[in-house]
Structure 1
Amino acid sequence: MGFAEELQRFGLLLPLGSPTVVLAGTHGDIDRLYPAIDAALRQHPHYRLVLAAAETGAMRKYYPHELILPLPHSVAWQRWLRRLGVVLVIGPSALSGLSPAGFVDSSKAITPTMLAALLPPLAVPERKPSRGSFLIGLFGGPAIASLHELAEKLGKPRTIVCLGNGPSSEDPRLADFSDAALFRVNWNWRGRNWLTAPDMVFTADPDLPGAGRRPLIAFPTAVVGRPILLRHLRAMRPPSAGYVFIDEIDPPVADLAGPMIATNGALMIAIAAALEPERIVIAGMDLYQHPEGRYPGDTTALDGYSRQHSAEIDLKLVRSALSGFDGETIILSDNLRLALAAR
């Protein structure tokens, strides 16, 4: 366990956010209960889930789309729960006396209906500007507010390659487009030694870019992006090429106001089409249904859409974006191509 995780066990360096449900226990306990809890929280999308375990490494590999934290020290439970905004803990009975929040014994039978009844509906949170907006404006790199500015910044590319993170993102045919502008999603492609110098990265993850090249960064919303930009500033790694809040770009390309929104991969395709290149090449958009797993070379990660997203929302946006695109579209992701054709 690293130094940062030790601090988290004392209630420090915790990600603040929405009202939170904690599922605590061993890897086996969490695997057993996760389907029911995931189903319950899909009915209450404004709640956040934290998976808390003693060993976090394997958990992060299996649940890459969830927030994984180490179990707190017994003396720090109250601070840990308070800092995370925990409203419900699901875990072994030994934890019941430590939690002032609601508690469900994980040894009992648990159903999605039962859990959903314990979580009252939440109002849509007010979208407040980050307290760090002033610092971001000074040191966060150039803000890009329009598609016109973005096209100019990218050099008005004739071809844009859009890579999701599914196994088809390593299709060898992509080598034919080495001169294209490269769009990628999140940062988990680093270390694969394949198309690792993107011009633009679409992300909502707090991971920092590498110390080398700093591409343009696009965030789905300003509410998501500003705290991440502050994290970049604290690490002295601002996106010097610039950044985009997609919900503020002019003209708009997607509706991002609801509790469920398109994935970064679908937003990437919508932006690429709106930039009006001559050609768009799409790979790695496997709709979390590829037989080789969620990511290239990784058969351990749990597949499927996270609670904030769905295949239906993605396909609606991608279909709309590509239907208005007059250039050539090459789709190397078989699942996406077949889904778009099956209207």
Structure 2
Amino acid sequence: MNTSEVTREGIRGARPDHDAIPGSAGRRRPRRGGRGERLMVPKAEFRSYYGKPVLNQIVWAPYDIGGYLFLGGLAGASSVLAAGAELSGRPVLARAMKIGALGAISGSVVALVHDLGRPARFVNMLRVFKPSSPMSVGSWLLACYGPLAGAAAVTDVTGLLPRLGRAAAVGAAAFGPAVAAYTAPLICDTAVPAWHEGHREMPFVFVGSGAAAAGGLGMLAAPVEQAGPARRAALFGAALEVGAAQVMRRRMGMVAEPYGRGSAGVLMRAASALTLAGAAAGTVLGRRSRAAAATAGVALLAGSLCTRLGVFQAGVASARDPRYTVVPQRARADARDAGTADGAGDARTGVPAQRGEQG
């Protein structure tokens, strides 16, 4: 408070250490015993009204959805590997992958239906086909792929209708990559920050994870002399999964933080270690030792499962913390405002205008 008085003779009762000086609000006032400006207002916290999160929380069961994601990727990649083994004259590997594909897709559908609550809800999704809906496309993929995978496995085990079985195996392999990949756009087509911001690389992560798991299953079930395609699939899948995951996390910036923290961080680190170790052991030691090949196969399957569970847990964590929703939105809004102020963009769309374009 200013207690000085201005008179004709000058300022009476001035106290330089206490009086407020006009224009001094923006000047720095050093703190006692430290440097910089004294913090007069506490740092802003990311809160929502009444303490509620910005997004609705994920209510999916972790093991239902995690198992659904893992088994779907394993099934699709196994069918591709089964067709290759059949056409290249590796009957034991082909049979193992056909049976594995049928078991995996059956378990995937069971996990999905269990999370939906009633089988009728899955059937209702087949009443229409909506290309813009990943869930609709995925439902039809499962409906088309499942019978083909089943026919390929049953005909191989029973020995009946071998030509029909080979055609079914090739048909399942044609749907296999889509079955392994569609769950990525399914989760990325949401408002969950850790999923939505990774929409560019997530399909590659899931396809690589599925290929690594299928290669691990092949090394686990087939003899060493027939497991060559499985070893190559495991090596390719491991490199694709780990590489795409690293690129995704670097591009996402702060939104990628949940992938390195808490239970999601533990799962993702375990996934990388198991996948890389399994691929390396299978490639180097799995050529000569059946025990080493089986151990590598188990590690690859466990690594793929950890990847899917880690992605799920990261999504749950990012939906719970409003920072991962608010900060990217503010950054995008600021970028649009800056572009509009510079005359380089459209205020409604934020799309930069081309040089030489006249309004």
Range into which the TM-score falls when normalised by the shorter chain = under 0.3
Q: TM-score, normalised by structure 2?
A: 0.23
Structure with max Cα Rg: 2
Higher helix share: 2
